[in-house]
Chains A and B, each alone.
Chain A
Amino acid sequence: MAITEDEARKVAHLARIAVNDADLPALAQELNGILHFMEQLNEVDVDGVEPMTGVEPMRLKRREDVVTDGEMQDLILKNAPDAREGFFAVPKVVE
């Protein structure tokens, strides 16, 4: 499988990373080099092997469904590039 310039553009958009058209050929080439390296995995017989999800078989921890945290709006907004009136502010969203 090889990534074309168009596919590189699509991946960049899915990843929400702006890439100039002029940089797409080099990007496609880099991504292809990495994918080519990954293709060694096709040599392995993985029939009947379950994909690994965690390193230790352990049940995800559970706790009482109660509020344990909160009431810290100031702290949460403190690092925002643009916070107004208790909200995160973003440019206008027009669909």
Chain B
Amino acid sequence: MSDLNKLTIAGARDALAKGETSAVELTEACISAIDASGALNAFVHGTPDMARQMAAAADQRIKAGNAQPMTGIPVGVKDLFCVKNVPSQSASRILDGFLPQYESTVTQNLWDQGAVMLGKLNQDEFGMGSSTENSVYGATVNPWKLGDGVARTAGGSSGGSAAAVAADLCLGATATDTGGSIRQPAAFTGTVGLRPTYGRVSRWGVIAYASSLDQAGPITKTVRDAAIMLGAMASVDAKDSTSAERPVPDYEAALTGDIRGKKIGIPKEYRIEGLSDEIDGLWSRTAEMLKDAGAEIVDISLPHAKYALPAYYVIAPAEASSNLARYDGVRYGRRAKLGAGDGVVEMYEKTRAEGFGPEVRRRVMIGTYVLSAGFYDAYYNRARRVRALIKRDFDQAYASGIDAILAPTTPSSAFALGSADSSNPVEMYLNDVFTVTLNLAGLPGISVPVSLDQQGLPLGMQLIGRPWEEGELLNFAQVLENASGFVAKPTRWW
């Protein structure tokens, strides 16, 4: 078989089961593709030796008849997952040289299934960004390039994961989504990105950004692959106090293709001012596809949705300022060079000033401000009250019989690298306008590639599911995937 790296997870699993290929061959194909992908800057720490050993072990396991769905499947891992003795620095200078002495639950679950570790993937520093430009490794470049030759963003914060999957460097990748960081990069690269319900996947060993919002999930080539990979990543974990005590179902079995009689909500508040005709048209066409498959389309209202973005940009920085207090130059990572007479406070201040990038410094300071005496109620508590109202909107929609919600993933296709105005950070924050709402409510969401825009860049639509119903959500997503018939791939230039 040729081009093994272009297989889907399901395709590779079936080929491995039939003995048509081996985990070693699959892994070598991915390693060669990674070696030739420097221009994308998606993989930032390769682990080819580890990959070869794991692939050989997977082949033994397949031969012995003990294979699980991910056995022998080569995957990439977002930098912020701690992998034992592999650099894991959440794309931050402050974690230069950090080698975790323990393993994140998500990666341990994958290795337990026999998946193969190809290396670490680029991201925005600590997950803070929408373009993977806020990275100590430099920006990831989207594999989708047009005749204009412009280098575009692969989105963020999981831009490395999305680019690697789109460019067939790996069969699937782990990612995390705090405000849209799985779904927006998936939409920008023509891949599938699934953010599960908060608590479905363990956060143990995932370098924290905002703990009440962070949730890990897969970026894959197809919806079926997302079902397979989520099944391997998810678990009930005693090491994460917010891990839900719910058994992990067979997500692939949920892909029945039958959505007859289901109700899909179209939230009117997502029809924001300035929404392009193109995105609006795509929204109507995809609603029509779900209707043709037997679903009922219902207009709904989420009255507080417009406040999700400002609420997020209070709550997430507040949690980040607390989580990132641990980077003090004492226990791990980097310590600044100190001058004669510098004490412990200078050590903290210099270490954090040179260790954090500008966006991280900004969010830590905003978070510090909104949590400080005198402002805690005005900003932080108010945002948490608005958050309760945002969640109530969704609760009411689902209580009225809605099964899922359809909305665009992003207001546009991928934008050019370097196009953001660095003096106006709010402009970049607006990228999250459609994705951030469900993070505040803790809901699952998936971005499915459905079309190319007029320029020829991929666009994604987002489905938002009921809590804990990732299986049903994946079923809706697969119906949309099949109906849209999206199969385009980027033309290789790298």
* A residues whose Cβ falls under 8 Å from a Cβ of B: 1, 3, 8, 11-19, 26-27, 29-31, 33-35, 37-44, 46, 49-56, 58, 60-61, 63, 72, 75-76, 78-82, 88, 90-94
- In the complex, B292 has a CB within 8 A of chain A: no
Find out whether the CB atom of B330 lies under 8 angstroms from the CB atom of A88. yes
Closest 10 CB pairs of A and B: A55-B442, A51-B384, A79-B332, A46-B385, A81-B335, A18-B349, A18-B353, A52-B388, A16-B348, A75-B101
Find out whether the CB atom of A91 lies under 8 angstroms from the CB atom of B342. yes
Find out whether the CB atom of A17 lies under 8 angstroms from the CB atom of B356. yes
Find out whether the CB atom of A55 lies under 8 angstroms from the CB atom of B441. yes
CB distance from A8 to the nearest CB of B (A): 8
A-B contact pairs, 13 of them (CB 8 A): A1-B375, A17-B349, A18-B350, A18-B353, A31-B369, A33-B424, A38-B314, A38-B383, A44-B386, A44-B389, A51-B388, A52-B388, A88-B330
Find out whether the CB atom of B310 lies under 8 angstroms from the CB atom of A80. no
Q: Which listed segment binds A: B67-75, B142-150, B263-271, B357-365?
A: B357-365
Find out whether the CB atom of A80 lies under 8 angstroms from the CB atom of B332. yes
B206-229 CB contacts (< 8 Å) to partner A: 212
Find out whether the CB atom of A46 lies under 8 angstroms from the CB atom of B366. no
Find out whether the CB atom of B344 lies under 8 angstroms from the CB atom of A34. no
In the bound complex, how far is the Cα of B328 from the Cα of A88, in angstroms?
12
Contact A15 B304, CB 8 Å, known A55-B198, A91-B343, A94-B343: no
Chain B residues contacting A75 (CB-CB under 8 Å) are 101-102
In the bound complex, how far is the Cα of B464 from the Cα of A61, in angstroms?
28
Contact A60 B241, CB 8 Å, known A31-B365, A91-B342: yes
Out of A15, A43, A46, A58, name the residue touching B364 (CB < 8 Å). A15
Chain B residues contacting A17 (CB-CB under 8 Å) are 349, 352-353, 356, 361, 364-365
Contact A79 B349, CB 8 Å, known A41-B386, A52-B387: no
Per-residue interface assignment for chain B, residues 383 to 405, with 1 indicating a CB less than 8 Å from any chain A CB and 0 otherwise: 11111110100000000000000
Chain B residues contacting A63 (CB-CB under 8 Å) are 238
Out of B332, B335, B366, B389, name the residue touching A49 (CB < 8 Å). B389
CB distance from B139 to the nearest CB of A (A): 21
Find out whether the CB atom of B368 lies under 8 angstroms from the CB atom of A14. yes
Per-residue interface assignment for chain B, residues 327 to 355, with 1 indicating a CB less than 8 Å from any chain A CB and 0 otherwise: 01111111100100011111111101100
Q: Which chain B residue shows the least CB distance to A39?
A: B310
Q: Which chain A residue shows the least CB distance to B241?
A: A61
Find out whether the CB atom of B350 lies under 8 angstroms from the CB atom of A56. no
Find out whether the CB atom of B381 lies under 8 angstroms from the CB atom of A41. no
CB distance from B353 to the nearest CB of A (A): 4
Find out whether the CB atom of B384 lies under 8 angstroms from the CB atom of A53. yes
In the bound complex, how far is the Cα of B315 from the Cα of A51, in angstroms?
11
Chain B residues contacting A92 (CB-CB under 8 Å) are 343-344
- In the complex, B426 has a CB within 8 A of chain A: yes
